[in-house]
Amino acid sequence: MADKYYRSTYVNVNLNEIASNYQIFQKIHPKKTVIPVVKANGYGLGSIPIAKKLMDIGVEFFAVATLDEAIELRMHGINAKILVLGVVPAEQITKAIQHRVALTVPSLSWLTTAISHIPDENEKDLWLHIKLDTGMGRLGMKTIEEYKNAIEMIHEQAHLIFEGVFTHFACADEPGDSMNKQQQLFEEMVESAEKPQYIHSQNSAGALMKDTQFCNAVRVGISLYGYYPSAYVKENVKVHLKPSAQWVTEIVQTKTLQSGDSVSYGSIYTATEPTRIGVLPVGYADGFPRLMTGAYVNVNGTQCRIIGKVCMDQTIIKIPDHIEVNDKVILMDHHTDSPQSAETLAKQQQTINYEVLCNLSRRLPRVYYNSDSVEIHNELLK
């Protein structure tokens, strides 16, 4: 660790693996623009260093969820195209114009309101991607009439550009015909009008499970970071993704409980015999939730069980005699078959690997591995 980090809990992020995962999708879809989705701070791993690494290998188009995320990238030198996939408040459209950010048009009413907030003196272009709701039931237009009206309205404005159209699959990571039905509806709607520069429907699961020639771009989120959208997808594709994150801490104190001694809040664990324990400086404020109680961590190759309730800042584990203070502990490993994989943590937490990554707290330092060197980026010390 570098001297500027003042705790022994951190996340290792392998930027080379992320770049490798991106290139996998380039090989799967050689004629399409692969759009890395770096929303939610790069799924918890750090959008800025990740975007910079990807730009180094030629990426020219990113997607985020909010205008704030897009502006943050701009403020850190990311000059590639950026699309905001979520809804930007219509009255903030001038900010998008100012920062050269492409926006999603979710409805005709949003577009009407947004246009009313564009200053008459504006001379800068704004790129727009219309969202079609083909079955997700969230954002987007559901009728061809609304879609055509939106395109016409965009063309009526001198500096608005109809750049793209897209949809989002609801069940691409599950068995069944839902994805194909959504794709068919999407194609019917898009074919009803002129086609823009970018046509995209496939998310990570869709890009792994389906190759549609109709689209010329794919959006890659969770799989960019080396994780499969679901067990079903993993079992049904021949693509080897490389997990890019490893969460590490260490033992900061050891002690021996005597029979009858309890640990942590609520005293839900009470020793029935002399028991060695280790204290870890990590807790639910770091994104290691109380649901992890009863799970295992890796201490120098030994699987050690979490006992007592996970606290906000500390966690207690049961340890054998050979484990000592300063021994390294793996909370989440970068191997899919590890007892500490993101998927194993997700199962323990009754959630999905997406949420495990996104829950990684801002206060966790991220250590970035780039080629044979280590690049340190600490958001806490800005």
71 close to 113: Cβ distance less than 8 angstroms: no
Residue 6 is predicted with a pLDDT of 84
What are the Cα distances from residue 141, in Å, to 136, 269, 343? 11, 53, 34
| Helices and strands (DSSP H and E) totals, the chain | 12, 20
Give the pLDDT score at 216.
96
To the question of whether residue 312 is assigned a binding role by annotation, the answer is: yes
Most distant CA atoms of the chain, gap in Å: 79
CB 13 within 8 A of CB 368: yes
User: Which CATH number is 316's domain given?
Assistant: 2.40.37.10
Judged by DSSP in three states, 181 sits in: helix
pTM to 2 decimal places: 0.93
| Active site residues per annotation | 39, 265
In a domain, 5, yes or no: no
Both 84 and 167 in one domain: the answer is yes
Residue at a domain's end among 178, 201, 227? 227
Same domain flag for 29 and 172:
yes
Query: Do 1 and 9 contact (CB within 8 A), yes or no?
Result: no
Identify the pLDDT of residue 376: 42
pLDDT at position 137, please? 95
Q: How many CB atoms lie within 10 A of CB 9?
A: 23
- Name the amino acid, one letter, at 250: E
Residues 60 and 160 in one domain: yes
- Contact between 264 and 76 under an 8 Å Cβ cutoff? The reply is no
Let me know whether 210 and 355 are in one domain: no
**Residue 128 buriedness (CB in 10 A; 0-12 / 13-18 / 19+):** buried
- State whether 159 and 272 are in the same domain: no
Q: 213 and 154: one domain?
A: yes
Q: 377, 261, 282: which is closest to 329 by C-alpha?
A: 282
How many structural domains does the chain have?
A: 2
| pLDDT, block means (10 residues), the chain with 382 residues | 73 97 96 98 97 97 98 97 98 96 98 96 95 96 98 96 97 93 97 98 95 95 98 94 97 97 96 97 98 97 97 98 97 95 98 98 92 45 30
Q: Residue 4 in contact with residue 378, Cβ under 8 Å?
A: yes
Q: What residue type is assigned to position 123 of the chain?
A: E
In which domain, by residue range, is 270 found? 245-377
- Establish if 3 belongs to a structural domain: no
